[in-house]
Amino acid sequence: MKRIVIIGESMLELSPASPGLWQQSFAGDVHSLAVYLKRCAPEAIQVSFMSAVGVDAASAELISSLQQEDIDTSLIYKHLSKTLGLYMINNTPSGERSFQYWRNDSAAKQVMHLHHAQFSAATFTAPDQVFFSGISLAILEKDSRDLFWDFIHRLKQQGTQVIFDPNYRAKLWSSVENCKAQYELAFHASNLVLPSLEDFTNLYQLDSAIAVSKFLSAYDIDEIIIKDGPAPIIYQSNQEQLEVAIEPVTQIIDTTAAGDSFNGSYLAARARGLNPENAIRFAAKISALVIQHKGAILNRDLFMRHLIKSAH
């Protein structure tokens, strides 16, 4: 069984259930990815989540929820005085979303310091894959980013495949220049990059998937998958280049985890042995399912029923 370590932040999510009523769950970009990855490939890959939480009831509930998804939590560290970040989702009638965040006191910002203090090389085996996002980078305390890159480079030297989703959020960065400097390090380190055109339009003013492909071709990246809403998905590797058309979704309810569910289910499909084209088609179907429901994480039973149907 393959093993992947996913680095980042899980947060308390508040999403509208009905007028005046909010429902609580746990999410965040890498959290959503981890859940969908494990659900789509339960026998093919071990998913380990690397983060930091508090010692409060909400943090304990988060760990329990991950364990219920059969996600390994042994790399989740506990901070004695900090807790989980919180975000609130507001949806437009078309399904687009806006967010309000309260994450300044998030324990996950300290994950690399806690990892460095408690990590034991003698008991840690390098995973087959490591995944992080632009948000994973953005939330880190500035003085811990060197620890992060030391960790990533050490894993890569041991043969770990490095996977990066740019997932650009301007409000999380002190400046565009600072973000670009960190992304430059990420592109140089990565074997697989999973950008959306929106990321590169907002950060680099690139206006087409072709322009993004050309931009990333300057780096030694083995595989690139470029997403652009309902437009065909571009796959590029050293061996081939594909343009995979996807079926548009007519009834969009909530796009919160559109990219995260795609990325997680794509990695799951590859872990199960599917080739890139079939993995993209599978991931597009999963993402289409997710955006037709409220919230980032679908009810597990509902999701698994749809997953069984899609396999036939």
pLDDT tens per residue across span 22-34:
888 998 999 999 9
CA dist 147 and 142 (Å) reads: 10
CA dist 36 and 287 (Å) reads: 10
pLDDT tens per residue across span 103-136:
989 999 999 999 999 877 667 899 999 999 999 9
pLDDT tens per residue across span 242-296:
999 999 898 998 888 999 999 999 999 999 999 999 999 999 999 999 999 988 8
CA-based radius of gyration for the chain: 18
Q: What local confidence, expressed as pLDDT, does residue 122 receive?
A: 63
Active site residue 128: no
Q: Which residue is associated with the tokens 């993995």? A: 279
Q: What local confidence, expressed as pLDDT, does residue 296 receive?
A: 85
DSSP code of 227?
B
Q: Which of 253, 271, 140, 255 is nearest to 196 (CA)?
A: 255
Tell me the CATH number of domain 9-310, given options 3.40.50.2020, 3.40.1190.20, 3.30.9.40, 3.40.50.720. 3.40.1190.20
Catalytic residue from among 72, 165, 199, 260? 260
Residue 307 binned pLDDT confidence (cut-offs 50, 70, 90)? confident
Q: What local confidence, expressed as pLDDT, does residue 93 receive?
A: 72
